[in-house]
Amino acid sequence: MEETEESNNRSKKCNSKPRSVKGCANNNNNPHSNSNNNRYIAFGFRSNQNQYQTYPALLPLPPTIPLQVAVAPPFPQNHNFTSRTLLQNQPFLATPSDSQLQNFTASKVLQRQNDVSKQKDLLRVKATTSPESFVVARRPDSGGVEGKVISLLANHFLVKFDPSQKIFHYDVEISPHPSKEVARLIKQKLVEEHSVVLSGALPVYDGGRTIYSPIEFQNNKIECYISLPIPSSGNKSMVKLQKEGQQIKIFRINIKLISKFDGKELSSYLNKEGDGWSPLPQEYLHALDVMLRESPTEKCITAGRSFYSSYMGGEKDIGGGAVALRGFFQSLRPTQQGLALNVDFSVTAFHESIGVIPYLEKRLDFLRDISQRKTKGLIDEEKKEVEKALKNIRVFVCHRETVQRYRICSLTEEVTENLCFQDRDGKILRIVNYFKDHYNYDIQYRNLPCLQISRSKPCYLPMELCMICEGQKFLGKLSDDQTARILKMGCQRPRERKAIIDGVVTGSVGPTSGNHARDFKLQISREMTQLYGRILQPPKLKLGDRGLVRDLIPSRHDRQWNLLDSHVFEGTRVERWALMSFGGTSDQKSNIPKFINQLCQRCEQLGIFLNKNTVLNPQFEPMHLLNNVKHLETKLKKLHRASFNNLQLVICVMERKHKGYADLKRIAETNIGVVTQCCLYPNLGKHSSQFLANLALKINAKVGGCTVALYNSFPSQIPRLFKHDGPAIFMGADVTHPHPLDDSSPSVAAVVGSVNWPAANKYVSRMRSQTHRQEIIQDLSTMLGEILDDFYEELLKLPERIIFFRDGVSETQFLKVLKEELQAIRVACSRFPGYKPPITFVVVQKRHHTRLFPCELDPSSTRNQFFNENIAPGTVVDSVITHPREFDFYLCSHWGVKGTSRPIHYHVLWDENQFTSDELQKLVYNLCYTFVRCTKPISLVPPAYYAHLAAYRGRLYLERSDSATLTRSSNISRPAPPKTTPLPKLTENIKKLMFYC
């Protein structure tokens, strides 16, 4: 009847196909209940004392190369610029424990600039060994110097280690293969019962096949047996003993020494000694990371690199069968100050640990009253929704005592009433009779299917006897209400977030709570890293003013500007447009003429012409039209013909959000060739001038206009690299993947590129579907080649420089993405004879956990209120917490209205344009002011943001066909993934517009 997830050998109670049986009597209910309590074992530890390698808690602000260079030198790609460090002769700044920082004045910055200019002639160039040896770009200087210097705190905690401390890496094989929870219990018992064999060491375990020990075991190979009291369902293949009325499971443990290593290579790397091109020594770093995760893993629920615990405020019901838990993220990172532990506050959703039936009542609206209607059955569509909600969730049973866990694969085809199976003796048994005879339980929900818990054979569990295991991350798509509750829990102002992080580091479940650090000779700081950042000046902007040009410098603290007395820089004319209404009350519909009039007036105030007369009277359609693709297409084509097939815009007003939005966008942009702008009736009723302005800006951008331009274009700002008659292109790329529970739908890649110069604020896009969860952009060379064609068509020149921003790449994929996508860019360029522009490849990371806080120098100061605020727009950090050798920086270009601002991490992988730190930081920050949808700087560089929006639009094109894949039959065996579904092609006129904004 049941199957354990942990065992490789399956129960043989269920070994036949389901058969239908008619006419079963109902019996009385015998309710059962149970609870699922995870227990965590605390280990005992011993401590050792030793000398530690020391790093300064705070480095001085490093100097950089001045910007007086007139012409960009023709240096080969990735030459190594090394200079005699100035830090050895500079006094270190105060450590975090000191009460005050040293004075860091502008004169000192100027002095350091002069020092660097003198040593500029001493730069040595080191070429790579071959074009194929892809080495991530090194930092070209000692960091930027432009901007006002400020004092900051970062949630990085210095970790000192003894380079001479050896670590012994052992491979551990456990048979039969256990779950991770059982494996940790085995490791605990191994330490307790075989201490002599382990030389008294307290090793750390990664939960898989790796053990690290600070002491060498007695033998290089160890074999032993561990017994654990684990109740089982009678699997004969397991070795079991009877002890005190309890079954004991025996596990065989084989341990083998793999390697031994010390931290000298890592120390040399962090201190920038030896070959500047040597890779980061990952082995020692990984061992220390496993060690620091050992104690939190024992005490918390683990989800990825984060830990969640009720000690941090308990769980909160967010509805829909989900609860939110507070927790923390931690990761050991190499930085300029040495090793640092990045710790951050985290909140995520978990499945609520309740019965499957109550869970479905909360999760699905159509089952809200199922406990009152126990005879209710499921229609096909409802059954598919239930299977989608339950698939891959782990459950345990409550009709008998067991710690076994089962993973839900699917639902049975038959309902429980008609389900039967063949026992070991070949006898056919009905499910309802089996549970009555063996457990004296009358199944109540007989018209519901059972849970299928095996992919290879029939193995059934009635829903009402199953409980959701706790600690399972909620992978389903959260509703708007659930998302709002999660965000509210995680929305902490800087002071609050800093206090939480400090509490984690010093708390009972954090990385410093165990004693393993002493055995491995680690010392973890309890203080956040103190460092200096800089605030870059905002650029002067260019707006329109009734045919004239007006300049403006955003001077507000949030760097936002308004258009009350100005026009957009380039307003468009919308002569032919239409309006469609979907749903809405009579009162809402009656306000449509007023809305049209207000929108036209607001557009006029912004320098945008929107004809007050639509091509047809507003079309009022029922909401269910969005469910019928053919009828929707017919209605849109009717509007298009009314404008002689030259319709520019359709404004769609909806009663509420609807999944038919995806069909609307796909039909309009790929079948008809018209831009659409959607909005909701509730927003129309607010009569908000800001809402109308936002709508006008989006319409203007979609039909070919732009909101703002830089007053001083890039050739004026960075003349060393950019010329007015030598255009450059800014490109962005992103890949969006299907939902975590979707195991077959294609991923969607998008590439955008600027096609005007020197304004560089209009972008064209290309989208492609590709292999499921493939991160490398497979058709990049083709997409990029088409964008270069568009660029040439606009400017009659090819770009002389390519600056490529790549979003969505993790650090483990850097080299793979660089190698394959840089080559694809070169292939695209090779389509044009003799065309080899210098390329800069920058990875943009927004899903990281580094946070910056204003430094509170004097706790009694009146600036305490400032400390509770976010860092200012333009804050940049490129020292202390950045990579020890590679070219990266953190830039917070936006103002954080809620919560704590997250800076964007820019990591340069390849730089043939030879940017200095100041040049690239200024370029990125200024680009953030050119986003077309708003009048403030955004958090993410626009090419990457546009690529994200375009990839999301491509995902919409597949959304309805994807929903069909979710309705496939629930076979016991896993179906083969289908071939990649190609995206529908955009019409020619849509291709050249920013329709995705």
Name, in order, each residue with C-beta under 8 angstroms of 918's C-beta and a sequence gap of 6 or more: 64, 67, 144, 145, 146
- Mind giving me the DSSP string for 632-651? HHHHHHHHHHHTTT---EEE
CATH number reported for the structural domain that contains residue 578 in this entry: 3.40.50.2300
Mean pLDDT value across the chain: 85
Give the strands of the sheet with 875-877, arranged side by side: 763-770, 747-754, 728-736, 801-807, 839-845, 904-911, 887-892, 875-877, 529-535, 148-154, 852-854
Kindly tell me if the per-residue pLDDT of 46 is higher than 70. no
Whether residue 688 sits in one domain with residue 723: no
Highest mean pLDDT among 35-44, 45-54, 396-405: 396-405
594 vs 976 pLDDT, higher one: 594
Task: Find the radius of gyration of the CA atoms of the chain.
Answer: 32
Count: domains in the chain: 4
Choice among 86-100, 400-414, 521-535, 734-748 with the minimum mean pLDDT: 86-100
Give the model's pLDDT for residue 791.
98
Angstrom distance (rounded) from CA 593 to CA 308: 53
Kindly tell me if the per-residue pLDDT of 863 is higher than 60. no
Give the model's pLDDT for residue 180.
87
Residue 279 CB neighbour total at 10 angstroms: 11
Report CA-CA distances (Å) from 805 to 200, 270, 750, 944.
Answer: 52, 27, 12, 6
Segment 765-772 mean pLDDT: 96
Kindly tell me if the per-residue pLDDT of 713 is higher than 70. yes
Taking each helix axis as running N to C, give the angle between helix 380-390 and helix 356-363, from 0 to 180 degrees, rounded to the nearest 10: 110
Kindly tell me if the per-residue pLDDT of 9 is higher than 50. no
The three-state secondary structure class of 573 is strand
Segment 954-978 mean pLDDT: 57
Query: Where does the pLDDT of residue 133 fall: very low under 50, low under 70, confident under 90, or very high at 90 and above?
Result: low
Choice among 140-149, 566-575, 733-742, 775-784 with the minimum mean pLDDT: 733-742
Whether residue 919 sits in one domain with residue 770: yes
Q: Which two tokens stand for residue 475?
A: 């992978």
Kindly tell me if the per-residue pLDDT of 960 is higher than 80. no
The three-state secondary structure class of 96 is coil
Residue 663 per-residue DSSP state: H
- At 89, give phi and psi (nearest 5°): -100, 5
Angstrom distance (rounded) from CA 448 to CA 451: 10
Kindly tell me if the per-residue pLDDT of 954 is higher than 90. yes
Query: Where does the pLDDT of residue 426 fall: very low under 50, low under 70, confident under 90, or very high at 90 and above?
Result: confident
Kindly tell me if the per-residue pLDDT of 33 is higher than 80. no
Whether residue 364 sits in one domain with residue 345: no
Whether residue 407 sits in one domain with residue 339: no
- Mind giving me the DSSP string for 120-189? GGG-B----S-TT---PPBPSSS----SEEEEEEESEEEEEE-TT--EEEEEEEEESPPPHHHHHHHHHH
Task: Out of 447, 469, 491, pick the residue that ends a domain.
Answer: 469
Give the model's pLDDT for residue 457.
84
Kindly tell me if the per-residue pLDDT of 500 is higher than 70. yes
Whether residue 763 sits in one domain with residue 874: yes
- At 582, give phi and psi (nearest 5°): -120, 110
Cβ-count burial of 371 within 10 angstroms (0-12 exposed, 13-18 middle, 19+ buried)? middle
Give the model's pLDDT for residue 111.
45
Query: Where does the pLDDT of residue 545 fall: very low under 50, low under 70, confident under 90, or very high at 90 and above?
Result: confident
Whether residue 305 sits in one domain with residue 190: yes
Angstrom distance (rounded) from CA 546 to CA 462: 72
The percent of residues in the chain predicted with pLDDT above 90, rounded, is 73
Task: Out of 679, 703, 727, pick the residue that ends a domain.
Answer: 703
Whether residue 935 sits in one domain with residue 878: yes
Do 59 and 337 meet the contact criterion of CB atoms below 8 Å apart? yes
Angstrom distance (rounded) from CA 511 to CA 258: 26
Choice among 117-131, 600-614, 962-976 with the minimum mean pLDDT: 117-131
Whether residue 443 sits in one domain with residue 380: yes
Query: Where does the pLDDT of residue 231 fall: very low under 50, low under 70, confident under 90, or very high at 90 and above?
Result: low
CATH number reported for the structural domain that contains residue 455 in this entry: 2.170.260.10
CATH number reported for the structural domain that contains residue 818 in this entry: 3.30.420.10
Query: Where does the pLDDT of residue 118 fall: very low under 50, low under 70, confident under 90, or very high at 90 and above?
Result: very low
Residue ranges making up the domain that contains 453: 356-469
Query: 652 lies in a domain?
Result: yes
970 vs 732 pLDDT, higher one: 732
Kindly tell me if the per-residue pLDDT of 74 is higher than 50. no
Query: 1 lies in a domain?
Result: no
Kindly tell me if the per-residue pLDDT of 233 is higher than 50. no
Instruction: Give residue for tokens 């003894």.
Output: 162
Whether residue 634 sits in one domain with residue 499: no
Whether residue 275 sits in one domain with residue 181: yes
Give the model's pLDDT for residue 979.
75
Burial pattern 790-829, b for ≥16 Cβ within 10 A else e, equals bbeebeeebbbbbbbbbbbbeeeebeebbeebbebbbebb
Give the model's pLDDT for residue 387.
95
The predicted-structure confidence for 349-390, as pLDDT tens digits, reads as follows 999 999 999 999 999 999 998 988 899 999 999 999 999 999
Query: Where does the pLDDT of residue 11 fall: very low under 50, low under 70, confident under 90, or very high at 90 and above?
Result: very low
Helix, strand, coil distribution of the chain in percent, nearest 5: 30, 25, 50
Query: 391 lies in a domain?
Result: yes
Kindly tell me if the per-residue pLDDT of 192 is higher than 50. yes
Query: 108 lies in a domain?
Result: no
Give the model's pLDDT for residue 978.
61
Element (H, E) at 792: helix 780-795
Give the model's pLDDT for residue 857.
57
Residue 87 per-residue DSSP state: G
Element (H, E) at 360: helix 356-363
Highest mean pLDDT among 39-48, 222-231, 292-301: 292-301
Whether residue 772 sits in one domain with residue 655: no
Do 404 and 425 meet the contact criterion of CB atoms below 8 Å apart? no
Kindly tell me if the per-residue pLDDT of 499 is higher than 90. yes
Give the model's pLDDT for residue 92.
32
Residue 538 per-residue DSSP state: P
Query: 742 lies in a domain?
Result: yes
Whether residue 656 sits in one domain with residue 780: no
Amino acid (one-letter) located at 286 = H
Kindly tell me if the per-residue pLDDT of 968 is higher than 60. no
Query: 56 lies in a domain?
Result: no
Q: Beta strands 801-807 and 839-845: pairing type?
A: parallel
Do 303 and 475 meet the contact criterion of CB atoms below 8 Å apart? no
Highest mean pLDDT among 509-518, 840-849, 951-960: 840-849
391 vs 25 pLDDT, higher one: 391
Choice among 54-63, 242-251, 683-692, 793-802 with the minimum mean pLDDT: 54-63
Query: 92 lies in a domain?
Result: no
- At 383, give phi and psi (nearest 5°): -65, -40
Query: 541 lies in a domain?
Result: no
The predicted-structure confidence for 648-682, as pLDDT tens digits, reads as follows 999 999 999 999 999 999 999 999 999 999 999 99
Give the model's pLDDT for residue 700.
97
Query: Where does the pLDDT of residue 236 fall: very low under 50, low under 70, confident under 90, or very high at 90 and above?
Result: very low
Name, in order, each residue with C-beta under 8 angstroms of 822's C-beta and a sequence gap of 6 or more: 134, 839, 841, 909, 910
